[in-house]
Chain A
Amino acid sequence: MMKHTLAVIVNDQPGVLQRVSGLFGRRGFNIESITVGTSEEPGLSRMVIVTTGDNHTLEQVTKQLYKLIDVIKVVDLSANPMVGRELALIKVNAEPSMRPEILGVVETFRAAIVDIGTSSLMVQVVGDTEKIDAMIELLKPYGIRELSRTGVTAMVRGNVK
């Protein structure tokens, strides 16, 4: 099973997210993550969907997406050299005595402390999925209280649009 990252350009219309996610659901396609936001063109939103499946599934996903009237374009970003990034906020147990150690991990990952509580720290980390997975692994021993990930947003490298 291959992981694919798709960019889906859609009309910025009410219900469009439901149309796209509903299609994945009823056709039995898996969604690993989905992000939606504005694109460079007013009136259009850009979704980035990470899905798993073989080439046949990917072809069906793409064709079925194109059948939605509100879908303008579908690009398999992962077919090209691509930058994929997500952001995670991790609230980790951190008594004052433990903080220097945690800070060491955070700096190594070029992450940031964005909030400090009396017994916790909120860590913000940006990177590809593997980096965030690794960061979470390293913070686990301290006790992760809360975790929130954005899912991947992505773009093809270079001048191609």
Chain B
Amino acid sequence: MATQGAILKSKEEIKERLSKPEVVSGSEILLRSLVLEDVECVFGYPGGAVLYIYDAMHGFSDFHHVLTRHEQGAIHAADGYARASGKVGVCIATSGPGATNLVTGIATAYMDSVPLVVITGNVMSTLIGSDAFQEADITGITLPITKHSYLVRDVEDLPRVIHEAFHIANTGRKGPVLIDIPKDVSAAKTLFKPVNDVNIRGYNPTVSPNKLQVDKMIKAIEQSERPIILAGGGVVYSGAHDELCEFVKKSEIPITTTLLGLGGFPSAEELWLGMPGMHGTYTANKSIQSADLLICIGARFDDRVTGKLSGFAPKAKIVHIDIDPAEIGKNVPTDIPIVGDVKTVLQQANKLVKRADKADAWRAQIQESKAQYPYSYEDSDKELKPQWVVELLHESTNGDAIVTTDVGQHQMWAAQYYKFNKPRSWVTSGGLGTMGFGFPSAIGAQMANPDRVVVSINGDGGMQMCAQELAICAIDNIPVKVAIINNQVLGMVRQWQELIHGNRYSYIDLAGSPDFVKLAEAYGVKGFRATNKEEARAAWEEALRHPGPAVVEFVVRKEENVYPMVAQGSPIDEMIMGDAK
């Protein structure tokens, strides 16, 4: 604790030193402002338009800068950092191609409401609009995928803009905010005075709910015979997991958590039904369809959750709790809308909520279904099964790791078979479904949590979309444990082509992929390969024991499918069960 105290003190000293009014450059203002916003780590890549900013960073030690090998790696790492810590993720890129390489990452964060401050350089103000070298209208390009954006034309505005950007990114419904800084603005000098207050007239998120609506929900719970909770990422983002636990404990309402909501409620609890939707559990989907009351908490009725919208929860009265009023009624007509911060809403509700007494038969029925229809797969002693691999990762880390994934089959198996008990332990691109996200986001998650085990689960496809970041794991000794579940194909596409397109396999063969062990070693990262259970256990144990980063390739067959599966456009109770009869 003494060390902690010393760190805190030195932090305050740094802040005090940096707050002193002084004539400095826009670049220096940026760096000082970031420190004053409690930024400890930024991910970035230099270039012509951010030369002044990187010049100011030379010898600057008040935050850590990670030099990724691609701007896309930088923004996914910043995203993983934000999701795993609850703090704002920060990344920096140059103008033009540097900025456009961030676009996928910005969209990823926007879709999943992740707070980022994205800093881009731009060409000099006098050149803007002239198609100058490495010029791109990045504020224009990212308009539909940012919560807000700024093009700073006057260095005087910079302190206010940065402070506003952090405020906007991390309040209300969180999201990415872009600050575009022309080169001359980062060079210009002015008197820096820190800005500590925000006054944005058009931005006042509703935090406290309307009490009448909360009362209506309480009443609906009392009357309900078949209630269910659908909890999403909003629970994690507002830090409401304790409040949610209390709410469930008091009401004894069965609960399902969406892909982004995993970890928002302990999976060991009896009332937890698993994930709903396209690859959700039989029990979660069936229960939603027969519920008479559905309480949606911080989720947005994504089409992968609802399936055919008109057939979703047909018998249920819908309560929708969300910080974003635009989500209420957007997809599903809502009977009781509650606009507010999930944590605040649940705190109020917990003062009033009582056990749903009429729902005993419902609970019994659900427990029976849960016992009868768990996720299941046909295991094999001859070959590795991807589901078994995820179970191995789960057991060996006591369910306590931070898990990041890429997108595809392995993502769904990870969601199904890794049982989360803590929030902010699960980092996955849900809304945008971004391949290439899994590995760099793990780097960010590890930077934010140096003391936790971070496991990054990837497919052989997605791993190749950002594999270059192995370099920074090696150089900065970032001890991410990378699992590659290699089925030699684009598995999820293969699955759809098999089931929906009548076995017409079109361009899914990933033959020609590198030897992942050699690839890891080429970067100076330890590499392992496993083709059976014994090898898998041994390799994984050794990877975990190894103090640095490690890559373990698990070779599995290509024919394995993710089940249950709801075909796109079907109601969610029409599930293809596959192996799980």
| Interface, chain A (partner B; CB < 8 A) | 10-11, 14-15, 18-19, 22-23, 26, 56, 59-60, 63-64, 66-72
| CB 8 Å contact bits of B419-444 with A (1 = contact, 0 = none) | 00000000000000000000000000
> Which candidate, B187-195, B293-301, B321-329, B386-394, is the interface stretch facing chain A?
B321-329
How many angstroms between the C-alpha atoms of A104 and B574 in the bound complex? 70
**Are A18 and B143 within 8 A (Cβ)?**
yes
Chain B positions within 8 Å of A22 at CB level? 143-144
Contact residues, B190-242 vs A (CB, 8 A): 200-203
**Contact pick for A68, options B139, B202, B324, B329, CB 8 Å:** B202
The verdict on B278 contacting chain A, using a C-beta distance below 8 Å, is no
Given known A-B contacts A18-B143, A71-B202, A59 and B329 have beta carbons under 8 A apart: yes
The verdict on B88 contacting chain A, using a C-beta distance below 8 Å, is no
**Contact pick for B200, options A10, A14, A69, CB 8 Å:** A69
Nearest CB in chain A: distance from B430 CB, A? 20
Chain B positions within 8 Å of A63 at CB level? 325-326
Contacts A69-B203, A72-B201 supplied; 13 other A-B pairs, CB < 8 Å: A10-B202, A15-B140, A18-B140, A18-B143, A22-B144, A59-B329, A60-B326, A60-B329, A64-B326, A66-B325, A67-B324, A67-B326, A69-B148
Chain B positions within 8 Å of A64 at CB level? 326
Chain A positions within 8 Å of B143 at CB level? 15, 18-19, 22
Closest residue on chain B to residue A63 by CB atoms: B326
Nearest CB in chain B: distance from A94 CB, A? 42
**Are B144 and A70 within 8 A (Cβ)?**
no
The verdict on B155 contacting chain A, using a C-beta distance below 8 Å, is no
Nearest CB in chain A: distance from B303 CB, A? 15
Chain B positions within 8 Å of A66 at CB level? 325-326
How many angstroms between the C-alpha atoms of A64 and B203 in the bound complex? 13
Nearest CB in chain B: distance from A64 CB, A? 5
How many angstroms between the C-alpha atoms of A56 and B330 in the bound complex? 8
Closest residue on chain A to residue B202 by CB atoms: A72
The verdict on B168 contacting chain A, using a C-beta distance below 8 Å, is yes
Closest residue on chain B to residue A73 by CB atoms: B202
Nearest CB in chain B: distance from A41 CB, A? 11
Chain A positions within 8 Å of B140 at CB level? 15, 18
**Contact pick for A60, options B148, B151, B173, B330, CB 8 Å:** B330
Q: Could you list 21 A-B pairs, sorted by A, with CB under 8 Å?
A: A11-B202, A15-B140, A15-B151, A18-B140, A18-B143, A19-B143, A22-B144, A23-B144, A56-B329, A60-B326, A60-B329, A63-B326, A64-B326, A67-B173, A67-B324, A67-B326, A69-B147, A69-B168, A70-B202, A71-B202, A72-B201
Chain B positions within 8 Å of A14 at CB level? 151
How many angstroms between the C-alpha atoms of A59 and B337 in the bound complex? 14
| CB 8 Å contact bits of B321-358 with A (1 = contact, 0 = none) | 00011100110000000000000000000000000000
Contact residues, B277-299 vs A (CB, 8 A): none
Closest residue on chain A to residue B149 by CB atoms: A15
**Contact pick for B202, options A23, A26, A69, CB 8 Å:** A69
Chain B positions within 8 Å of A71 at CB level? 202
Chain B positions within 8 Å of A67 at CB level? 173, 324, 326
How many angstroms between the C-alpha atoms of A26 and B146 in the bound complex? 13
Closest residue on chain B to residue A67 by CB atoms: B326
How many angstroms between the C-alpha atoms of A26 and B326 in the bound complex? 15
Question: Which of B140, B202, B203 has most chain A Cβ within 10 Å?
Answer: B202
Nearest CB in chain B: distance from A124 CB, A? 34
How many angstroms between the C-alpha atoms of A66 and B202 in the bound complex? 8
How many angstroms between the C-alpha atoms of A126 and B4 in the bound complex? 72
Chain B positions within 8 Å of A68 at CB level? 202
How many angstroms between the C-alpha atoms of A22 and B146 in the bound complex? 12
How many angstroms between the C-alpha atoms of A76 and B148 in the bound complex? 24
**Contact pick for B139, options A15, A56, A60, CB 8 Å:** A15
How many angstroms between the C-alpha atoms of A72 and B201 in the bound complex? 7
How many angstroms between the C-alpha atoms of A14 and B324 in the bound complex? 26
How many angstroms between the C-alpha atoms of A31 and B200 in the bound complex? 28
Chain A positions within 8 Å of B144 at CB level? 22-23, 26
| CB 8 Å contact bits of B144-184 with A (1 = contact, 0 = none) | 10011001000000000000000010000100000000000
Closest residue on chain A to residue B175 by CB atoms: A67
How many angstroms between the C-alpha atoms of A110 and B72 in the bound complex? 62
Q: What 6 A-B pairs come out closest when comparing CB atoms?
A: A63-B326, A69-B148, A72-B202, A26-B144, A69-B203, A22-B143
How many angstroms between the C-alpha atoms of A56 and B326 in the bound complex? 11
Chain A positions within 8 Å of B203 at CB level? 69
How many angstroms between the C-alpha atoms of A13 and B285 in the bound complex? 47
Closest residue on chain A to residue B203 by CB atoms: A69
Nearest CB in chain A: distance from B326 CB, A? 4
Closest residue on chain A to residue B328 by CB atoms: A63
How many angstroms between the C-alpha atoms of A42 and B371 in the bound complex? 66
Nearest CB in chain B: distance from A17 CB, A? 11
Closest residue on chain A to residue B200 by CB atoms: A69
Nearest CB in chain B: distance from A93 CB, A? 40
Nearest CB in chain A: distance from B175 CB, A? 10
Closest residue on chain B to residue A19 by CB atoms: B143
Nearest CB in chain A: distance from B151 CB, A? 7
